[in-house]
Structure 1
Amino acid sequence: MLQEFPMYAYIPAKDLARARQFYETKLGLKPKEEVNGGVVYEFSRGTACFLYPTPNAGTSKASQAFWSVDDVDRLIEALKAKGVVFEDYDLPGEKSKAGAISAGGAKAAWFKDSEGNIMALIQQL
């Protein structure tokens, strides 16, 4: 039933201005609109996320959202050049030169945003 509808990610921010600076400067996102005290960013294939203020940002120990990408290593290098710091998790699998881990049919890398949320880049292999 619910698979008939689009699904969107919520990204919590303790400091919305700081979070916008991170997402718009370091990740290069362009806001679609400001609504209900937050900001909407659109992505490929009709997907989007809503960055919103809350004191609960950064409290999850799991990934908040992920981008399905075609070349994780290339994006790691590009984002590192903009100051994004990637996490170094001790996980099973083969680690690429750029730091991505390949296991279970996917190649993945994780970073934290300015609010402490864990975000991921996932490439299907």
Structure 2
Amino acid sequence: MTHADVLSRARAATRLPARDLERARRFYADVLGLEPVDERPGGLLYRCGGTEFVVFRSTGASPGTFTQMGFEVDDLEAVVAELRRRGVVFEDVDAPGFRTRGGIAEIEGNYPSKGARGERAAWFRDSEGNLLGIGQPVR
């Protein structure tokens, strides 16, 4: 192993803070349809789409000023519509290069390494203020 490849075989996983772990558990189950695959007193482990993330008990609050975790989906409109039906409120974003319309942004040139020419995306907050994104590559 060289210094250059020290993490090349590591698995990356997102960690999301929660001030109220039970409230977060209910949100992820009732709204997103996700159940933890493992749990400890300090956190919940979730797996979806071959990846994993943890929601952990924290005394600190999420700033929610940037996308902390994203989900890639095949049908963005269907997912947004279903989450709205479940009570999710999507963020309005007006940033250089894109603006949401109806809760969905068209982002030209985003994630070129995925073989896409852009992405369609939407953002919402979980029960703890973490900013989560949903994206669909545009090929």
Cα distance, 1:43 vs. partner? Answer: 0.9
List runs of 5+ in structure 2 lacking aligned partners. Answer: 109-117
List runs of 5+ in structure 1 lacking aligned partners. Answer: none
Q: Kindly report which structure 2 residues correspond to 1:1-125, keeping only aligned pairs within 5 A, or say none.
A: 1=5, 2-35=7-40, 37-45=42-50, 47-91=51-95, 92-93=97-98, 95=100, 98-104=102-108, 105-125=118-138
**Per-residue Cα deviation, 1:12-33 (whole angstroms, up to 9, x for no partner):** 1011111111111111101101
Amino acid at match of 1:20: R
1:71–1:94 CA distance, 2 compared to 1 (3 A)? farther
- Please report the TM-score for the alignment, with normalisation by the length of structure 1: 0.90
Q: Which runs of 4+ in 1 moved over 3 A?
A: 91-96
Cα distance, 1:95 vs. partner? Answer: 4.7
Bigger radius of gyration: 2
Cα distance, 1:70 vs. partner? Answer: 1.0
Q: Determine the C-alpha separation between the residues in 1 that align with 2:61 and 2:54.
A: 13
Equivalent pair of 1:108/1:122 in contact (CA under 8 Å): yes
Aligned length: 123
- Please report the TM-score for the alignment, with normalisation by the length of structure 2: 0.81
Could you say what the CA RMSD is over the residues aligned between the two structures, in angstroms? 1.6
**Per-residue Cα deviation, 1:80-117 (whole angstroms, up to 9, x for no partner):** 00111111112344755x52101121101000111111
Equivalent pair of 2:104/2:121 in contact (CA under 8 Å): yes
Equivalent pair of 2:19/2:60 in contact (CA under 8 Å): yes
Q: Determine the C-alpha separation between the residues in 2 that align with 1:62 and 1:93.
A: 15
Highest RCO, 1 vs 2 (Cα 8 Å, sep ≥ 6): 1
